[in-house]
Amino acid sequence: MVLGTTSGAGKSWLTTALCRYYSNLGLKVAPFKAQNMSNNARVVEGIDGAWGEIGSAQYFQALAARAVPGVRMNPLLLKPEADTHSQVVLLGQVNAELTALPWRGRSAVVWPQIAAALDELRAENDVVVIEGAGSPAETNLHASDIVNMRVARHAGARCLLVTDIDRGGAFAHLYGTWALLPEDERALIHGFVLNKFRGDASLLAPAPQHLQERTGVPTVATIPMQWHHGLPEEDGVFDMTPTLGTGVSSLPPEGALAARGGPSPLNRPHTTPGAVHTTVAVVAYPRISNLDEFQPLKNVPGLRLQWVRSPADVVGLRPTDWIVLPGSKATAADLAWLRAQGLDQSIAAHARQGGTVLGVCGGLQMLGEALIDPAGIDGNGPGLGLLPLVTVFEPAKTVQRTSAAFGQLTGAWAPLSGVRAEGYEIHHGQTAQHPAMAAKGDVAREVMPGIAWQSPAGNVLGVYLHGLFEDAAVLHALFGAQAPTLDAVFDGLADGVARHFAPGVLDALIA
């Protein structure tokens, strides 16, 4: 099991690397995280043939393990909809009763399903690599814990405790976390891991030895900082440091957010080597979801990926540059935020000059004329009016994998004509042509039945299909580029942990 002293310490990254490392040994491996809080979700195999949702991190960990992703790998998923409220997804399905329960009240209800899922995975696999959440030493959450040490005790897991040494205070974080655990739980900690190290490793002495003398736990790895490891970010917006008061993190606190934090990477756009030919400006509203699907764009030569929060961020965009409205867990609220920033006018101005605009899922809904919410799912409101569509929110949630071919497109989107795309859908809204506008001749071109529409002018495209840029055919059609394969990324991670862990440690953990 991989535990962390803080959020962002590197638990997801290390779990993914270990899944591939043990798989490369010829073992049957599965990942597990009892509870995840994220609006980055993937559609996977559910119970009794139904599709279900799990956190993106466990989806990628399953691929690293060469396993078929399934809902048991992340039995409880919390999808934040407001600062103090989350939609609860149990074994892949939205559960209204659990959503209505208070944070601590859920533990007793969901623990039997969590334990059963873990036990089934343990019975079916040689190795299960478990990821914790936040820190295991949050004493206010310990009594209701269902994701850290309760899981470790249930499985008798051999635990690694990882810390982000780049933040400073790493040895205090490790010692403090260990010291706050009950004695029986301390015994499960088999090694400390220093992650994101920069500098001369010889300068660490004698701290690891002093730490071992106080705890009995050795420091088993010092892993260098890796700026571009190739995995999508699990939480928040990557390549951007949050500004106080903007509320951009995709993970708002509920209760104590299970001691998890938001994003913390560098405050700069990401540009690949070579002359920049296209800027892709992605609007980073407060409840942004599924942002990990844009990771492949970071690897396209000559493309500049930029996160947008204000009109100033889109000044100077050319018509050939893109504005992207990504998915949202609270479409009406994020649309209101977008208007409050004045970004609605900036997007409209870009579209008027023929600029390329893409809306994905919630972003597609925003591009239409209206949001209608008779069941109180998301909220009512006028859309941006860039597509003659209307969206009605329904209690039933569309969750499915999708494969479909684009019809004939025009303008900047013409290269997608006839391209078959693989992806997934997660949405409550159902979108259709606005009937009154159609009567006046203002008709959107439905270029993928029920999934994608193009504006009459051709520069605005809205799609329900997540994962477009993870599809090699789509990426090649739009940019003539190919991103590194996930298998190459996973193997690189596995090679890294093999180099940086002390000899024999990783094998001893499963002996």
Catalytic residue (one of 159, 270, 350, 361): 361
Reading across the β-sheet that carries 159-164, which strands appear in turn?
Answer: 2-4, 159-164, 189-197, 219-224
> Which two structure tokens, joined as six digits, stand for 42?
């993937």
Q: Reply yes or no on whether 361 is catalytic.
A: yes
CA distance linking residue 475 with residue 483, whole number of Å: 8
- The three-class DSSP label of residue 506 is helix
Catalytic residue (one of 173, 350, 434, 466): 466
CA distance linking residue 150 with residue 181, whole number of Å: 12
- CA 218 to each of CA 74, 165, 509: distance values in angstroms, whole numbers, following the listed order: 30, 16, 13
Q: Reply yes or no on whether 466 is catalytic.
A: yes
Inter-residue contact 15 to 131 (CB < 8 Å): yes
Give first-to-last CA distance, the chain, whole Å.
14
User: Who's near 16: CB < 8 A, 6+ residues apart?
Assistant: 31, 57, 60, 61, 64, 231, 490, 493
Inter-residue contact 65 to 23 (CB < 8 Å): yes
CA distance linking residue 110 with residue 75, whole number of Å: 9
Neighbours of 198 (CB within 10 A): 8
- CA 198 to each of CA 195, 203, 209, 210: distance values in angstroms, whole numbers, following the listed order: 9, 11, 20, 21
- CA 407 to each of CA 155, 354, 390, 413, 414: distance values in angstroms, whole numbers, following the listed order: 51, 21, 21, 11, 10
Inter-residue contact 230 to 489 (CB < 8 Å): yes
Give catalytic residue positions: 361, 466
